Amino acid sequence: MIHASTQSLGLRIGLLVAMSLSLTGCGLSGYFISEENPEMTEGSPSQAQKSPQAQKSPQVKRTASPQRVSDALDLESLEQLLCERHPALRELRQKISVSRQSGESSWIPGARWSDSDTGNPAESDQQERQLALDWSPATLSREEREGRQRRSEQRVLSLQLEEVRNRLLLQLRLEWSEYWLLQQSSALLSDWLTELEVLADSDTRSDQQELFANLQAKVAEWNRQLSRLEESKSRIIATINSMSGRPRGAQLQLPKDPGDTRFVGVEKMNRHRRHPLEVLAAERGRFARNEIDFTDPTTWDGLVIGAQSRQEQGQPVAGTGQGNPAGDWILTVGVEIPLGSDEQGQFRREQIESAGSRRLELSRIQQQISGRLEEARLLIVTEDNLIENDLLLIEQSDVLRSLRELVQSENLRDFKDHWQHIDAQLQQRISVQRSIAKRAEGRFKVVELLALPLQESNGLRGLTRTDPKP
């Protein structure tokens, strides 16, 4: 360490006055306030701590949410509960809150302060108190880099929160669509079974025991199929409730549609927002490029500027003054030479090596999002056409007459022919229901890929076209 010293009274007074300035007056308040303030997702803990007004909105929203197990909830209520209660979302909100609270800088950015006086006379037998204040560009650059890393981390966590939320909402909506399909298939089969049993009971012929036995076998087959549908529906209900933070056996509303009526026409919308995965990749690449610039090796920041003083033990920092060597401040100028590994150079090399791979990763994600979006739009168009064609065939069929002809069959051959015709009609109606569910799946995927905000997604309602019941 190379030292240059002076003992002028003016330097001492100037340094003490500078140390007594407030942070605001010195223009240092920016080091204690984040330069960037990414918007937090509604309901996050850190947002709730900002002000009493900010706390009221989530509380009112939660009070309005159905909480009782006896409440039969619809899809939109379940979506709200998922956003509030899902463990993955709560964990990310907690991480964002911790990251924001940890962003505290030193009282003078880049400065290191040391004092040999612990304040307890019993802990030190020295008669002299040693004070030192060092300021280094290297320390300042490290604090700046930590601040940039912290802000980038908060941005990344916010994007991860949005991406995970959208993905969980997509999964919940797909489960609801499957729940609707199972409910429709179960109701359809149950109605046909009831009608078939009524017709069979009205048949008074006593010489058709063989045909009656075959009819009983077919009824038993439909009953087994109905039981399997009910078991699958129970599993879906448990999954939906679990995702929403409710007991697995909690009630759900009987769905009138697969949940996509809000999103009719979404396949015609253009992309106005980037997908969170794209923004995540771009954010990581931006941070890496910035760090390469900030760690320019041509900038030598080993310089250290400081001040040292010796005081009598227990005296204030102002020192004795009065021209005595004790209490005067000594200005020091030195150079810090790092020993061992060059951490900053290693960090720079790592960022340069990863810059190319990050650009490739961003390009891959963009192509993947575009491809998935086209597939989802094609799925909607394909299933829509199938629905139109099958509905025309269904409108031309008469289920009640077909069931009556089955019960009134004269022989086993006629019975089998009628049964094949009825089974084909049943499968055709279930196929329409499945196509409606798959079309809803396509719409749900488009909403997720377009990264539509929840408010904008809900604003799509009103364009609904109601399909006739199969």
Q: What domains are there in the chain, each with its CATH number?
A: 75-117+126-336+344-458 (1.20.1600.10)
pTM (predicted TM-score):
0.68
d(C-alpha 284, C-alpha 361), whole Å: 10
Amino acid at 169: L
Among 38, 395, 400, 348, which Cα is nearest to 199's? 400
Q: What is the pLDDT of residue 198?
A: 87
- State how far the Cα of 104 lies from the Cα of 410, in Å rounded to an integer: 89
Spatial CA neighbour of 83 closest among 52, 57, 62, 60: 62
State the Cα–Cα distance between residues 233 and 226, nearest whole angstrom: 11
Digitized pLDDT (tens) for each residue of the chain, 470 residues in all: 333 333 333 333 333 333 333 333 333 233 222 333 334 444 433 333 343 343 333 333 333 344 555 588 999 999 999 999 999 999 999 999 998 887 655 556 666 666 666 555 555 555 566 767 666 666 666 777 777 788 888 999 999 999 999 999 999 999 999 999 999 999 999 999 999 888 888 876 666 788 888 888 989 999 999 999 999 999 999 999 999 999 999 999 999 999 999 999 999 998 888 999 999 888 877 766 655 555 554 444 555 656 666 655 555 544 433 444 545 666 666 655 555 455 555 655 665 666 667 778 888 999 999 999 999 999 999 999 999 988 888 887 888 898 888 888 888 899 999 999 999 999 999 999 999 999 999 999 999 999 987 654 554 543 333 343 44
pLDDT in the model for residue 34: 34
Compute the distance between CA of residue 159 and CA of residue 165 in angstroms, rounded to an integer. 10
Give the number of other Cβ atoms within 10 Å of residue 130's Cβ: 13
Quick check: 137 and 307 in contact, CB under 8 A? no
Q: With beta carbons less than 8 A apart as the criterion, state whether 259 and 440 touch.
A: yes
Distance of CA 346 to the CA centre of its chain: 33
Strand ranges across the sheet with 111-115: 111-115, 128-135, 303-312, 329-335
pLDDT for the residue 330: 66
Identify any residues that bridge with 303 across adjacent strands, giving them in sequence order. 335
Alpha carbons 111 and 307: distance in angstroms, whole number: 11
Spatial neighbors of 82 by CB under 8 A, at least 6 apart, are 89, 168, 169, 172, 243, 244, 245
Residue 259 tokens, joined = 């949940």
Q: What angle do CA 376, 381, 382 make, to 5 degrees?
A: 95
* pLDDT (0 to 100) of residue 314: 53
Q: Are 407 and 203 in contact (CB under 8 A)?
A: yes
List alpha helices for 264-342, DSSP H: 276-294
Contact of 58 with 85, CB cutoff 8 Å: no
Q: Any residues with CB less than 8 A from the CB of 124 and at least 6 apart, and which?
A: 116, 117, 118, 313
Q: What is the CA radius of gyration of the chain?
A: 36
Pairing mode of beta strands 111-115, 128-135: antiparallel
- d(CA 259, CA 104) in angstroms, rounded, equals 46
Q: What is the pLDDT of residue 234?
A: 96
pLDDT at residue 409, as a whole number: 86
What's the pLDDT score for residue 227? 96
Residue 192 to residue 214: CA distance in whole angstroms: 17
| H or E segment to which residue 377 belongs | helix 343-395
> pLDDT at position 220, please?
92
Say what the pLDDT of residue 175 is: 98
